[in-house]
Amino acid sequence: MGRSREQKKREQARRHGSAGATPERGASPAARARAAAESACAEVQRTASGLLHREDRVSQIVPLADAARDVALRVLQGSPDAGRHECRAGCAFCCHTAVTVAPPEAMTILRYLRTHCTADELVEVRRSVELNAEAASRMSSTEYTAASIRCGLLTDDGNCRVHPVRPLACAGFLSTSRAACEAEFHRVPGRTGVPIDRYAMLACLGASYGLKGACRETGLDGEFYELHHALCRLWDQPDAPKAWAAGQRLFAGCPRADTW
């Protein structure tokens, strides 16, 4: 099965290590982007490990996801393209692709939905999430992306219901041209591709691998799973956070980034 662009970028970020190296003065844009990934990875792993070594791991799940996102968002502000991003609320051209999340991200997203949505909204979101999970079961990540399936967490007006706790994969996907995003979404002939901020993307991918590394070193599941499947797996399991913190593999059978 084909791998998503997200997975390829994650592998690239991982290959460049997690030592938190700082690029030399005058370093190339590619070197600066790699250093951003390494820096985010190292800081998140260090911070997350500290949280996971506390006695009550369950209470650290949301702070864990929040810390990883905060680091990533801070690091990506060092991008040469910072201030040029044309991503805005309601612009959802990129919200029709394959996305994977680590378990702490998925649990934080579901908690946010339950806190901020009405009962009717939750019914609607769950229906959309289940439909997308079903579609992902029939497709590879490449096929899923090519099908331009609308994210189950979007509102009717194109806003993300969980933007404050959005997946790291989404937080790092920033474009400097809304027009290019629109052309790509509509498959306009002659389009030249979307100018993605590579620095921002690698910063968030590095943070993802820092989170994964911290989970692994404490015996927890830190793999990346398809977003909708992960939410479906958690929805009817109120004890899921406790089970995950105890080392159980709650997401067995969900499409994983390295195999989907």
Q: What are 128's two structure tokens?
A: 């959309």
In the predicted structure, residue 22 carries a pLDDT above the cut 60 = no
Asked if 69 and 236 touch (Cβ cutoff 8 Å), the reply is no
Average pLDDT over residues 121-145: 97
Question: What span, in angstroms and rounded, lies between the C-alpha atoms of 44 and 204?
Answer: 10
Alpha carbon 184 to chain centroid, angstroms = 21
Q: What are 143's two structure tokens?
A: 């096929």
Give domain limits for the chain: 5-245
In the predicted structure, residue 77 carries a pLDDT above the cut 60 = yes
Compute the mean pLDDT over every residue in the chain, rounded to the nearest whole number.
Answer: 92
Task: Please give the residue that has the higher pLDDT: either 253 or 16.
Answer: 253
pLDDT score of 27 = 80
How big is the chain by its Cα radius of gyration, in Å? Answer: 18
- This prediction has a pTM of 0.89
In the predicted structure, residue 14 carries a pLDDT above the cut 70 = no
Phi-psi region of 97 (alpha: psi -120 to 50; beta: other; left: phi over 0): beta
In the predicted structure, residue 150 carries a pLDDT above the cut 90 = yes
Average pLDDT over residues 198-225: 97
What's 175's DSSP letter? Answer: B
Q: CB-side exposure of 200: number of CA atoms within 13 Å? A: 22
What burial letters (b/e) apply to 208-223, b meaning 16+ CB within 10 Å? bbbbbbbbeebebbbb
